[in-house]
């Protein structure tokens, strides 16, 4: 039997948290995900009559398959890289290394079948350059350059899937659903950050969804631009939930994350 190839891409470290692999999270049923969400609020507080009903119906979603599932999995990687870079640029170099070491969402072997199916370009080499730069305590400019090249490569990998606008939006919905669940797992009812890894993961998934929406606006068709803007509108105010990735306290009310996830699903359904 051939020896399995390894690298620091996740492949980043051993499966210390093997019970929560990316594949396992992607396979969670909608009911399970809803149960994990604190204060699930899928309707807007403004009480818009027609759309409030849609938001309620959007609470039950199908498990993602195909390109939407692949883009969600790639979002796990993007989120992890963005978190490590954010920690690093704010001087928390040890915490950046720790996050890459312990993050339990992004395992490269989980996406190998999709890489082959879509004949998508791999990015593990650039991921190793990024993680090696952080491990070596490289100058911040070098880490930023490595991050930029890596995220561009991940974007090209995603493009190879040929995902439709609906599928891209559904992946963003899934990332925000996970962001809500992770926040609930990382911040207690009193607003204390008691599981920093999960709190940071929440920020990473939210930030990845936000960046994808911005990319839609910047280089998309009319439909893509409108959809991207609609997503950003629903993400307004969410940044305030994260006072900093090393914060010891954060917001108690996480309903904005769950609500955003529900609204992004509505936007996706409108582009099906």
Backbone angles phi, psi at 249, to 5 degrees: -135, 155
Q: Is the separation of the CB atoms in 244 and 90 below 8 Å? A: yes
Residue 217 reports pLDDT greater than 50? yes
Q: pTM of the predicted model, to two decimals?
A: 0.79
Q: Is the separation of the CB atoms in 261 and 179 below 8 Å? A: yes
Q: Given pLDDT bands bounded at 50, 70 and 90, which one contains residue 103?
A: confident
Mean pLDDT of 31-37: 31
Model pLDDT, residue 129? 97
User: For 223-264, what is each residue's pLDDT tens digit?
Assistant: 999 999 999 999 999 999 999 999 999 998 889 999 999 999
End-to-end CA distance of the chain: give it in Å, rounded.
44
Non-local CB neighbours of 49 within 8 Å, separated by 6+ positions: none
* Residues of the chain above pLDDT 90, percent: 71
Model pLDDT, residue 56? 31
Model pLDDT, residue 219? 80
Task: List Cβ<8 Å contacts ≥24 apart for 58-61.
Answer: 58/262, 58/263, 58/265, 58/266, 58/269, 59/30, 59/34, 59/262, 60/30, 60/31, 60/34, 61/30, 61/170, 61/173, 61/177, 61/265
User: For 61-92, what is each residue's pLDDT tens digit?
Assistant: 457 899 999 999 999 999 999 999 999 999 99
Q: What is the mean pLDDT of the chain?
A: 82
DSSP 8-state code for residue 249: B
Spatial distance between the Cα atoms of 177 and 266, rounded to a whole number of angstroms: 13
Instruction: Compute how many other C-beta atoms are within 10 angstroms of the C-beta atom of residue 153.
Output: 17
Model pLDDT, residue 50? 35
CA pseudo-torsion sign 271, 166, 82, 207: positive
Model pLDDT, residue 7? 37
């Amino acid at each position: 039997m051939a020896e399995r190839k390894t690298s620091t891409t996740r492949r980043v470290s051993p499966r210390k948290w093997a019970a929560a692999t990316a594949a396992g999270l992607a396979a969670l049923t909608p009911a399970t995900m809803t149960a994990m969400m604190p204060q699930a609020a899928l309707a807007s507080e403004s009480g818009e009559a027609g759309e409030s009903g849609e938001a309620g119906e959007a609470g039950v979603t199908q498990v993602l398959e195909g390109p939407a599932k692949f883009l969600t999995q790639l979002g796990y990687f993007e989120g992890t890289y963005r978190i490590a870079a954010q920690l690093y640029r704010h001087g928390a170099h040890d915490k950046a290394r720790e996050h890459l070491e312990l993050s339990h969402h992004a395992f490269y072997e989980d996406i190998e079948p999709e890489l082959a199916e879509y004949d998508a370009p791999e990015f593990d080499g650039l991921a190793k350059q990024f993680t090696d730069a952080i491990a070596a305590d490289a100058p911040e400019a070098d880490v930023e350059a490595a991050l930029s090249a890596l995220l561009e490569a991940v974007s090209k990998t995603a493009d190879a899937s040929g995902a439709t606008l609906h599928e891209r939006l559904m992946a963003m919905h899934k990332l925000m659903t996970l962001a809500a669940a992770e926040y609930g797992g990382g911040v207690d009812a009193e607003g204390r950050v008691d599981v920093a890894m999960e709190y940071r993961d929440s920020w990473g998934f939210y930030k990845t969804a936000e960046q994808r929406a911005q990319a839609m606006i910047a280089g998309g068709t009319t439909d893509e631009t409108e959809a991207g803007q609609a997503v950003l509108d629903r993400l307004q105010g969410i940044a305030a939930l994260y006072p900093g990735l090393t914060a010891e306290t954060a917001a108690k009310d996480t309903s904005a994350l769950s609500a955003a996830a529900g609204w992004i699903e509505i936007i996706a359904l409108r582009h099906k």
